[in-house]
């Protein structure tokens, strides 16, 4: 069994895992970071999105071993060290962009990535960019509003 080491939310971690361990399993089971969710088995729901080396990635599409040496940020590592919410988290709260909360970690991580590439997105861009993240609760209406608010807040 290989040993994998990486930096997760600023901390270095190393564990021996089975070869077939997915990154999302590594995070949830080996590190106990259960904020990253699993919503499907075909890499299509986006509930598992995390940041790997600056890119939003579906953590169910990678083996833990493939992220050897990577810098990984999960939803647990998004807020500031003092607990202040990231502007995207705040915008989700302000705009009621979550209901059951299950899609939320992946949705927030994708939305943060979206703003890196489109700092001032229009509604259509937001909708197109988030099509890899399923939400069954909100109908996306308030998620779009939240991303717009976060874009404004982060432009300041």
Partner 1 sequence: MTETGIGARVKRKEDFRFLTGQGTYTDDINRHGQAHACFLRSPHAHAKLGAINAAKAKAMPGVLAVFTHADLAADKVGGVPCGFGLTQKNGKPQIEPPHPALAAGKVRYAGDAVAMVVAETLAQARDAAEAIEVGYSELPAVVDTAGAPRAKSAVHDEAPNNVCFEWEIGDKAKTDEAFAKAANVSKLEFVNNRLIPNAMEPRAAVGEYDRATGNYTLYTTSQNPHVIRLLMGAFVLAIPEHRLRVVAPDVGGGFGSKIFHYAEEALVTWACRKVGRPVKWTAERSESFLTDAHGRDHVTKVELATDREGNFLGLRVHSIANLGAYLSTFAPMVPTWLYAPLFAGQYRTPAIHAEVIGVFTNTSPVDAYRGAGRPEATYVVERIVETAARDLKLDPAEIRRKNFIAPAQFPYTTPVVLQYDSGQYALAMDKACQLIDYKNFAKRKAEAEKRGRLRGIGFSAYIEACGVAPSAVAGAIGARAGLYEAGVIRFHPTGSVTVITGTHSHGQGHETTFAQLVSDRLGVPYDSIDVVHGDTDRIPFGMGTYGSRSIAVGGSALSKAMDKIVDKGKRIAAHLMEAAVQDIEFKNGAFRVAGTDKQKTIQEVAFAAYVPHNYPLNELEPGLEETAYYDPANFTYPAGTHIAEVEVDPQTGQVEVVDWAAVDDFGNVINPMIVEGQVHGGIAQGIGQALLEGCVYDDRSGQLVTGSYMDYCMPRADNLPSYRVDMTHTPCPHNPLGVKGCGEAGAIAAPAALMNAITNALGIKDLAMPATPERVWRAAQARGARAAE
| Contacts with ligand FES, residue ranges (CB under 6 A) | 38-40, 43-48, 58, 60, 98-104, 135-138
In whole angstroms, how close is the CB of 29 to ligand FES at the nearest point?
A: 14
Nearer to partner 1, 7 or 132 (CB): 132
* Residue 140, phi-psi category: left (phi > 0), alpha (psi -120 to 50), beta (remainder): left
Nearer to ligand FES, 47 or 91 (CB): 47
- 127 lies in the site for partner 1, by CB under 8 A: yes
In whole angstroms, how close is the CB of 126 to partner 1 at the nearest point?
A: 7
Half-sphere exposure of 64 (CA within 13 A, CB side): 27
Q: 86 by DSSP, 3-state: which?
A: coil
Separation CA 129–CA 93 (nearest Å):
20
């Amino acid at each position: 069994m290989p040993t994998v080491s990486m930096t997760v939310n600023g901390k270095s971690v190393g564990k021996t895992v089975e070869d077939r361990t997915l990154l999302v399993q590594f995070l949830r089971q080996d590190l106990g970071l259960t904020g990253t969710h699993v919503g499907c088995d075909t890499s299509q729901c986006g509930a598992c999105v995390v940041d790997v080396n600056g890119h939003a990635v579906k953590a169910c599409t990678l083996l833990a071993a493939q992220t050897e040496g990577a810098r990984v940020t999960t939803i647990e590592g998004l807020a500031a060290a003092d607990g202040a919410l990231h502007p995207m988290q705040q915008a989700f709260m302000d705009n009621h962009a979550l209901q059951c909360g299950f899609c939320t970690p992946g949705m927030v991580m994708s939305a943060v990535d979206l703003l890196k590439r489109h700092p001032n997105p229009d509604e259509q861009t937001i909708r197109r960019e988030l099509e890899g993240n399923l939400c069954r609760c909100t109908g996306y209406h308030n998620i779009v509003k939240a991303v717009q608010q976060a874009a404004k807040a982060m432009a300041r």
